[in-house]
Structure formats: structure tokens, C-alpha cells
Amino acid sequence: MRLHYEAWGEGTPFLFLHGFLGSGDNWRTIARSLDLPARYYLIDLRNHGRSPHADEHTYPAMASDIVELMDAEGLRDAVILGHSMGGRVAMLLAMHHPDRVRGVIVGDISPASHAPVHLPLLEALARVNLHVARREDVEAQLAQSISEPAIRQFLLKSLTRDVQGRFQWRWNLPVLIRDYPKMTASLEGPPYHGPALFLRGQLSPFLIEAHFSLIRMLFPKAQILTISNAGHWIHVDNPEAVKQAIREFWMRL
């Protein structure tokens, strides 16, 4: 599958993989301000953003998409940063294709199974009637189930119009809903012995101390760093700490 991506810069390939219901540009502000000797790739994963839709949404399929992109771009290996869903893709890629991963940065997610926390969002999105005239009409429907304005605005970033001017979601929503249980299962694979950095949000339930032993079993060289005053969206809540952690990791590669 030919994924959509935005790329710039010269140097070591640095791939950014976004979270569930997001898109590659979620990390543009961070990437633009890192000032590293890197060629940055902000990638839309399958069934998200401007990438193609497919009738499968699993971590092995998404990891294979990244390998295909790297092959097409002539990238022997790369540093991979993934947040949430993208972090799990990055972990699986590192475990099963270690020769293609120079180092891995995982944003606020672990290889352990987690609760189906996105189900309320998926259920709310499935109820939305897109046959309306204004963007505000879509947001008003979301507000009936999603009280946090920031989450509604995040979701609305994936609202667009087709060639006839009708609203549509960029996601392949039916497949995401059907395959969502596969998104929450634990990851398996051989240990990755390369450099690894796990960034956990201090206020987030996604990566907790109970997960540390599994992380260190699968990623023996892992550094686990807590981003203070941050929830799951570490790059939004404390961008300066995230950027500093990325720069320090890069210098150790």
C-alpha cells in the first residue's frame, strides 16, 4: 500500500507514526522545531488521513505498510517515532524487522493489552449524520456524546468534503470499528535489542509502572521517561519536554 506522507530535510530518516483517529500532521509542530540532521517523514497510516483505505486494520498490516514505504524510498533503516497506535506499529516493526530500525521512540503506549477506551468515540462517530450543511452541525452532534472541545476539534481535523461537496470522514470508519478489538490486544515478538525510548504521560493510564517489566523484556535497552504534567497527548501537553527527550535520545544513537 502506498501511504501518504509529508517529507522534508536531509540526513537520517526519521519516521513519525500518529495515533488512532489521527494523522501525520499531528506531529508537524514537534518535527519542525527539532532541528536535527534528519529527513522527516510524517506518515498517514492506512485508513487514516490521506492514505488509502483497506479492508484490514491490524498492526502487522500497518508495519508491513511502513516497510513497503521504506523500500519505495530506498531507506535501509530509520529512526521510528510512534504515538499510541503508531507506537504499537513502531514496536512491532522493531521486533520483527530490527535491521530496518535504527532506534525506536514510543509515545505513551505499551506492548500490554489495554482497555477499549476509544469505543465511546467510535460509537459517537458512527451516530453522526454527515448529510448536513455546516461543519458546526457535525460538531453539535459530536457534542451530544463528547463533552471535551479539544477532543471534538481533534476528530474534526479528519472531516472533509468529497468532490460533490458532501461531508465525509477521512477514516475508513467501518473497518476501524470492526477491527478495533485487534488494536487493544497485547503485542508479541522477539526482543528488540536496539535503542528504545518510552515516553509516558505522568497523568495518562496508557503506560503505567505495571507495564515496565514487559517493556524491558521485549526492549532490553529501553529507557522509560515520564513527561511531567502530560496526559496521553504528551506532544500537546508538554511539547518542550518531549522535544528535549527526542534530542537527547538522538544524540545517543
The string over 29-66, giving b where at least 16 C-beta atoms fall within 10 Å of a residue's C-beta and e elsewhere, is ebbeeeebebbbbbbbbbbbbebebeeebbbebbbbbb
pLDDT tens digit string along 86-128? 999 999 999 999 999 999 999 999 999 999 999 999 999 999 9
Q: What is the pLDDT of residue 234?
A: 98
pLDDT < 50 regions, the chain? none
Q: List the catalytic residues.
A: 84, 232
Domain ranges across the chain? 5-115+184-252, 119-171
**For residues 205, 191, 184 and 150, what is the CA-based torsion angle, rounded to 10 degrees?**
50
- Name the architecture of domain 5-115+184-252: 3-Layer(aba) Sandwich (3.40)
Amino acid at 86: G
The C-alpha cell of 79 is what?
A: 529512526
